[in-house]
Structure 1
Amino acid sequence: MGPNPLRVLVGILAIVVLSLGERSVAAEIRISPTSALLDSPEASLQVLATEVISENRSNDLSRSVRYEIVPPEIATVNDAGLIRPLSEGSGTLVVHHEGQQSSIPVEVRSLKTPRPVSFRNEIAPILTKARCNSGGCHGKAEGQNGFKLSIFGFDSDLDYQSIVMEARGRRVSVATPDTSLLSLKGTARMPHGGGQKIEPGSYRDQRLLRWIAEGAQFELANEGDDRIVRIEVEPKQQFLLSGQSQQIRVMAIDASGKRQCVTTEAEYESNAASIAEVDSSGLIQASDIPGEAAILIRYLEHVAVCRITLPQPGVEFTKPPENNFIDTLVWDKLERLGIEPSDLTDDASFMRRAFLDTIGTLPTTEEARQFIADTSTDKRSKLIDHLLDRDEYVDYSTMRWLDILRADQLKISPQGTVAMQRWLQRQFSENRPFNEFARDLLVVQGNTSAEGPGSFYKVLDEPDVAARSVSQLLLGVRIECAQCHHHPSERWSQADYVGLAGFFTGIKLKKLPNGEQSVVSMGGKDLPHPRSGEIIPARALGAESADFSQVSDRRQVLADWMTAEDNPFFAKAISNRLWSHYFGRGLVEPIDDMRHTNPATNEPLMEALASHLIETGFDLKAFTRTLLNSRVYQLSSATKVSNENDIQNFSHAAYKTLPAEVLLDAICQSTGVTEKYNGWPDGYRAVQIWDNRIPSYFFTIFGRPVRASVCECERSNQPSISQAMHLMNSPEIAAKIDHRHGTARRLALSMTPSEIIDELYLGTLSRFPNEQEKNLMMQAFDELQDDIPAAAGDVLWALLNSKEFVFNH
């Protein structure tokens, strides 16, 4: 998305204004690195030219300065500052900018007798950069046209075998490298289904051909010293204004400490492309939307992050009042970004939001009247306390956790689903500390039909399935990628995946005499690495090998590690999950994908929330009370000019789609007609129904999950045309509106049109209509003077189809 021209101009003017006071003398131009070494024919080195304005301010000039190599015959440098070797020798790179000159020494060597090409360090990255080993090409499970590579090149042994040994050696020809299929198809000199992946004659093509000509070796002498152990990115963080750009430089460091520029071969990805995009060369381009983006840099199995902050200049920021630490940390972030928070929402909107978020139910007309009329200054805090003590809080929390605990009655049986529902209801009714809740879930044993979470292990029927589900659910860490290869965006390896699965190898489902099943966990064994066959000791993520000498159930050791106060994942995971529910977006998104390369949009707040949860003793009600009492939660959804494009910093309340069950209950409550569920007594609300397979077209189109995974993403939150058409035209909803015992007809028998309109607004939108709305709705009664019930039904239909009703905001 291109930046808005007006905002680009504002950004440029802001740079000028901000810089005038700092430039009593010419700004310093800093060149990085301080010297350039190119030691192979295909080497490259990215130069960064940075204008240092002050200690905390700098601008990237890498694409606006003029470069010159002296003497010009030793190397070339393009307009982006990328140096390539031409001939051996020494020289200088001169950088010209507005009458200033800066220079660094340049040395080119080893072109005539270069060190042999490393397959692992130099060929594998070429295949990755060209997307040859991506999931859409040869990296998918079955390969492509008989040629299979490991996904993202994480198994160099397998890739070498596939390239050199398979297909009767036709893919590489040591005698005539130019005729190698690998080169011919990659450069599209021979027809290739994937098209041209490597430019003919390019440095990548030359390196590939040199590797083949050198004998297409896998291991080189002393290659252990050349193994890449980490990568570094420059800059690690940068402030950009609208329309500005920043070039990244990536260095790979091997075991001997040698540094090599790999900017051209690294991969780049932005986690917020609407704020800052990045291209394949590592050039970051800022948009006109303020916020932060994390640029993921990947080379081989190593990852790094460049943090980009895009503030909005020219905004006069006045900090609003603070109710608690949440407000302090959010205001600090918004002030740094130049984003104003919205005003406090009105009482009616706050009441409706709190009801729907906390108990999944609309306030009644009487509750709405009382709260709006209440003049006490602490009425919002009192309402929060009241909602958290209601039975509906238990029902709504139970429904949400039945979803993510995969309580699918077809898989765990109706008895198992009811058992889990009753256990969850007891946990939330007693406000059980979440660390104890998680421990019970982890180490449960006994009859899966008895009250408890035992049926959870009926769907987690393999150690690796249990490991990745528990990790995603309770730690917020997705490790399933590491099942087949090193995680492409994190440090987790296949050994980490297997090590975590080792905690669940002792679990068995034992058949009982009555035909039911019991979870039993004793003993267990460590599992082999899927590639090497080496036995991997069970270990938690990032922890040492587990000691099972004092326990009979391996899961107890995992539970001890997970619920410890110093666990780096547990408190953050549930804090982020709850934050997402109440604010419409997690501090980390997706909410169960917490990793170094996907940082929180407000990391100080993430840390503070996790600490607060621990301080409360993992009291979920106390934690929720803190969230809801913050001014941030109580902001209006109406935006200001400076925050209308903000989607990640909570400067205004988000519009949230109502879950299918909550929306259906709201329709039933507003129309005064209950829903009849197949096989259930009359009067049950949708959020109380444990049967996720109950036939319901409404549930289907409004995205009720089938409970096939522990991911909350399974519940659809995207509005659709079919949903809108159903609300407008559904005979079932029309029948509720026109029901002879429904709200519309009941009100028509005893109230004036003006009173009917007030009552319908209170019952659906939890507020009184304004004068314009009142006059508009009165037209229905003017046109249907002889049929007041029909007019009331028309008004109710209009309100049920309004955005204000269908969304929580």
Structure 2
Amino acid sequence: MLSRLQGKVDVYRELILIARNHGLRLAVVCLAILSLQPLASSAAADDREVSVGAIAQAVGWNFQNDIIPVLSRFGCNTSGCHGKAEGQNGFKLSVFGFDLEADYAAIVQEGRGRRVFPAAAERSLLLLKSTGEVPHGGGARISRNRPEYARLRDWISAGMPFGSSSDPQISKIQVEPAERQMEMLQVQQLSVTATWSDGRKEDVTQLATFQTNYEALAMVDENGLVTAGANPGVVAVMATYLGQVDIFQAIIPRIEQLDAAAREQLNQNIASDNVIDRQVAAWLLKLNLAPSGPCDEPTFLRRVYVDTIGTLPTGTEARQYLSETSDNRRTELVDQLLERPEFTDYWTMKWADLLRVNRRTLGRKGAQAYYQWIHENIGQNKSLDQFAAELLTAEGPLEESPAAYFYKVVPDPNEMANTVSQVFLGVRIECARCHHHPWDRWSQTDYHGMQAFFTQAVFKPNEGSESLTNSGVTLTTHPRTNETIFAHPLGQPVPQESPVGNRRELLAKWLASPENPFFARNLANRAWAHFLGRGLVEPVDDFRMTNPPSNPELLDALAQYLGDNHFDFKQLVRTIVLSQTYQRSVVPNETNATDAQNYSRFPMKRLEAEVLYDAVCQTTGVQGKFAGVTDGQRAIQLWDSHVPHYFLEVFGRPVRATACQCERVCEPTVGQVLHVLNSSDIHDKLRHVDGRIASLCLENIDNQRLIEEIYLSCFSRFPTEEERAATGEHLRITSVRNEAAEDIAWSLINSLEFLFNH
């Protein structure tokens, strides 16, 4: 296959050289290329064959239509090159070519026109640097025998025309094929067709840029050749050209078919009453993936405690649950956990991360009041739409309306538009503040339409404090055209006049309305990512047409379920954790060992920093101490994300400086391993005279019961026979019983089984 591809590329280059040297019309070249057998794999009967045409010759030069695509294709105007804010080596271009006039001036006029030389175009600095003939920090980007080089050279020779505003504009691009099923390691050539405002269609494949949303599933090269990987799942490949985007989606199943028993089990799941299991099973059937079996009771007990309330079960709680025989015990346990105070503490911590409860921004008094408001609302199980609405419409003195601190965290209307879109809609729009979003549909008009909702909100002095009022600037203007932009939600029509009344109230009303396609999907996806380790859209705050969900039917079903249940978060949690999907084992079977996307087994998830530290304190029986915090508080109860604590910092506690969930780091590191191994804090807790180990050793229990209690505290399970024998022998040969018990507890705390939820 690769030799076929290279051969056709060589033929293509030869035809271009013949056309250039002998004056043949480019149309003849195109016809010759199109007559070649299309590039496609012959490995499967359903291959989608496409043809890729040559780069068309410009007809009446236009800087935007003819030159910007070349600069974008070779990365010249990206943020890593000349598109960065300060430019590169004195040459600055706008990111993705959003400012045509500035880019034209930079190339043609700056430096007294030294970058282009129409009299001898090939001696232009623009070409000499891009070919590497003159030293260039970015290296050689283009060779002289490429058609893109010829396009730049001919444009310079023609006098660098800018073009006319009446020239055709691009309307859309279309990727072919749009979707298909691929076998593992199979290839698929994509083609990209641009449609212009005059109705003309043009093959722009060789000037488009390509990017995959999941490299573990498929790679794409610069020419649009997609190569499927060796993992099953669904992948999207994005093509971009002149600010337009489109995607190709591939579903990649396992090659081997499932056996009859596995298919029968999945078909039964498709008929399940649980909306989650129905959709997951249907997808696994498409991918030829058999799910792992159910986890055992000890695993479920520890898993659901950690995920739901951020707390380990105590040894006593574990022993009691494992002694029960009721078929309904998992359901009963979940219902109990949802009503525990730790549920409120834990989910307040999660929301405090997103809403940026930050002492350095709000001050001690403000951060405490803001945190307490969140805590009270989570404790009341206030519906998520009402919770969001009260934040958006907050008004009045800060002492009376703590929700108004939301606007103290983000006082700038532009930043508030970013935050609300990211937190409540799952959409990143910040790129559209300065230019059309390069990977989505959002324009500067869309961005400033969201920003206009918040320009009325301003703080005014109020008896030594501040009060949030609704009396600010009422107009927002487009930064480039200076036209007035009236407030309107993302994806909604642009109004011709300003909405009447409090604009923030209008936004809050739209937020949970059926017209809003984002709110329910975003919240459902965030919850799903927390419990299952990976969002249906990943990253969770990056919903866009070029990053589609891995299981769209499941995401739609979860969003519908959340809306139908009046945005009751506890009800959503209950449904997720009682699904067969959530209760699967982490142990892979022969079909799903490489599956990381489709929820055929439970993922290993490292405990969050606060949860892990609380687990250490609970299993050792010694409370943690935090500077400036009342004794007895657990890490998940801390309202201040800046309380100095080395353990929490090493394990990735967020500082709450942004609304991005990526601030919290849960990936394991060498530093974390070394800290747990050598931490004096952990050693002191294990040896503490009033700690759990010392207390157990004072009780009149034999070695086997002592071992059981340590295992139940750390792992929520009884030790295996092999573990009993090994730890029992260590206790027998160690002269000081306390030290032997400390050794056992220390080894368990340092194990993956303790550090991870599984």
Aligned residue for 1:28? none
| 1:533 aligned to which of 482, 493, 509 | 482
1:494 aligns with 2:444: yes
1:347 aligns with 2:297: yes
The answer on whether the counterparts of 1:76 and 1:84 sit within 8 Å (CA) in structure 2 is no
Structure-2 change in CA distance of 1:92 and 1:395 (3 Å) = closer
Q: Gaps spanning 5+ residues in structure 1: where? A: 1-58, 78-82
Aligned residue for 1:778? 728
> One-letter code of the match for 2:756?
F
1:174 aligns with 2:123: no
Higher helix residue share: 2
1:734 aligns with 2:678: no
| 1:747 aligned to which of 684, 687, 696 | 696
Structure-2 change in CA distance of 1:374 and 1:257 (3 Å) = same
Shift of 1:117: 2.9
Which deviations, in whole Å up to 9, do the C-alpha atoms of 1:567-598 show, x marking residues without a partner? Answer: 11111010111111111111111000001100
Per mean C-alpha deviation after superposition, the further-off stretch among 446-455 and 552-561 is 446-455
Q: Does the residue aligned with 2:705 lie in a helix, a strand or coil?
A: helix
| 1:392 aligned to which of 311, 319, 342 | 342
The answer on whether the counterparts of 1:236 and 1:305 sit within 8 Å (CA) in structure 2 is yes
Matches within 5 A, 1:43-442: 63=5, 93=35, 95=37, 115-220=59-164, 222-223=166-167, 226-316=168-258, 317-318=262-263, 319-320=265-266, 321=269, 322=272, 324-442=274-392
Which deviations, in whole Å up to 9, do the C-alpha atoms of 1:640-696 show, x marking residues without a partner? Answer: 121111111111111111111111111111001111222333221111111222121
Q: Does the residue aligned with 2:119 lie in a helix, a strand or coil?
A: coil
The answer on whether the counterparts of 1:499 and 1:526 sit within 8 Å (CA) in structure 2 is no
The answer on whether the counterparts of 1:69 and 1:94 sit within 8 Å (CA) in structure 2 is no
> One-letter code of the match for 1:536?
I
> One-letter code of the match for 1:393?
F
Structure-2 change in CA distance of 1:91 and 1:442 (3 Å) = closer
Shift of 1:221: 7.9
The answer on whether the counterparts of 2:52 and 2:191 sit within 8 Å (CA) in structure 1 is no
- What's the TM-score, normalizing by structure 2? 0.92
**Identical pairs, percent:** 40
The answer on whether the counterparts of 2:56 and 2:202 sit within 8 Å (CA) in structure 1 is no
Shift of 1:524: 3.2
- C-alpha root-mean-square deviation of aligned residues, in Å? 2.8
1:555 aligns with 2:489: no
> One-letter code of the match for 1:245?
V
The answer on whether the counterparts of 1:419 and 1:450 sit within 8 Å (CA) in structure 2 is no
Shift of 1:610: 0.6
Distance in 2 (CA, whole Å) between partners of 1:700 and 1:746 is: 30
Aligned residue for 1:631? 580
Distance in 1 (CA, whole Å) between partners of 2:161 and 2:81 is: 24
Which deviations, in whole Å up to 9, do the C-alpha atoms of 1:200-229 show, x marking residues without a partner? Answer: 132111111111122211114840xx2111
Q: Runs (4+) of structure 1 moved beyond 3 Å? A: 59-70, 72-77, 83-92, 94-98, 103-111, 320-323, 545-552
Which deviations, in whole Å up to 9, do the C-alpha atoms of 1:81-109 show, x marking residues without a partner? Answer: xx9755698998264999xxxx9999999
Shift of 1:749: 1.6
Aligned residue for 1:40? none
The answer on whether the counterparts of 1:323 and 1:629 sit within 8 Å (CA) in structure 2 is no
> One-letter code of the match for 1:259?
K
The answer on whether the counterparts of 1:678 and 1:695 sit within 8 Å (CA) in structure 2 is yes
Task: Tell me how many residue pairs correspond in the alignment.
Answer: 735
Shift of 1:62: 8.2
The answer on whether the counterparts of 2:53 and 2:203 sit within 8 Å (CA) in structure 1 is no
Structure-2 change in CA distance of 1:480 and 1:92 (3 Å) = closer
- What's the TM-score, normalizing by structure 1? 0.86
Structure-2 change in CA distance of 1:446 and 1:685 (3 Å) = same
Which deviations, in whole Å up to 9, do the C-alpha atoms of 1:736-788 show, x marking residues without a partner? Answer: 1011111111111221110011011111100001111111111220221x311
> One-letter code of the match for 1:479?
I
The answer on whether the counterparts of 2:232 and 2:252 sit within 8 Å (CA) in structure 1 is yes
> One-letter code of the match for 2:170?
I
Aligned residue for 2:45? none
> One-letter code of the match for 1:208?
L
> One-letter code of the match for 1:139?
G
Structure-2 change in CA distance of 1:605 and 1:91 (3 Å) = closer
> One-letter code of the match for 2:493?
E
Matches within 5 A, 1:760-779: 760-779=710-729
Q: Gaps spanning 5+ residues in structure 2: where? A: 20-24, 43-48
Determine which structure has greater relative contact order: mean sequence separation of CA pairs < 8 Å that are 6+ residues apart, divided by chain length.
Answer: 2
Higher strand residue share: 1
The answer on whether the counterparts of 1:524 and 1:554 sit within 8 Å (CA) in structure 2 is no
